[in-house]
Structure 1
Amino acid sequence: MSLLRPLLRTVPILKRGISTSTPKLGGAWTYRVAPHPPSKKTVFKAEIIGAFMWWWILYHLMTEPEHITGEFEYPDPRKWTDSELGIPADDED
């Protein structure tokens, strides 16, 4: 460690540009103040987009359930053998 001290003294100290009280990117500084509520036009657009999104999801879940359940036929569990299920064979001595 004593060999590194002279080397560390020659490295300039880097200042961090961290400040919590100055606005960044031209925004106003606020503390525990709610932002302005969105306009009615913005809320209406968001509701329309949300309604379309849910229609799209629910419509495709009803008409194409293979996206969720998979595109294969579910096997009949009554046809599985004991060895496939991991059940040991009965010892009949």
Structure 2
Amino acid sequence: MFSSRGLLLCRRLASTSKSIQSRTFMLKPPLNGGGEYVYRSAPKPHAKITIFLAEAVGAYMWWWILWHLWHEPEHITGEFPYPDPSKWTDEELGIPPDEEE
């Protein structure tokens, strides 16, 4: 056990001393980044199935929104009918009478 730990420690020290001596900048991919690391190059294109599924989900989303806007417009306009403003009185609108001086 000690020999394996010692060997690991020696490797770590050797790699550290090499990087300090060479003074080079090392680019490392992000840990647990969930994707490839791309530096100064174009990323790989997505797989065709990924593009197809993204388009299918987007089409379903827009169908769902437009279907519900067409069949249930109360979500946007409200549940109750808008009152007719021509039937409102001047008092309800806050308009003073014409004969007031």
TM-score (norm 2): 0.59
- In structure 1, what is the Cα distance between the partners aligned to 2:56 and 2:96? 59
CA deviation profile, 1:48-92 (whole Å, cap 9, x unmatched): 000100111111111111111110011011111112222121126
Compute the RMSD of aligned alpha carbons. 2.2
Does residue 48 in structure 1 map to residue 56 in structure 2? yes
Does residue 77 in structure 1 map to residue 61 in structure 2? no
1:76 to 1:31, Cα distance in 2 relative to 1, 3 A: same
Equivalent position to 1:35, from 34, 43, 47: 43
What is the percentage of aligned positions where both structures have the same residue?
64
Structure 2 regions of 5+ residues with no counterpart?
A: 1-26
Partner of 1:24: 30
Structure 1 regions of 5+ residues with no counterpart?
A: 1-20
Query: What SS does the aligned partner of 2:31 have?
Result: coil
User: How many residue pairs end up in the alignment?
Assistant: 73
Query: What SS does the aligned partner of 1:42 have?
Result: helix
CA deviation profile, 1:23-72 (whole Å, cap 9, x unmatched): 43255654554432211110000000001001111111111111111100
1:90 to 1:76, Cα distance in 2 relative to 1, 3 A: same
Query: What SS does the aligned partner of 1:36 have?
Result: coil
- In structure 2, what is the Cα distance between the partners aligned to 1:29 and 1:47? 25
The structure with the greater share of residues assigned to helix is 2
TM-score (norm 1): 0.63
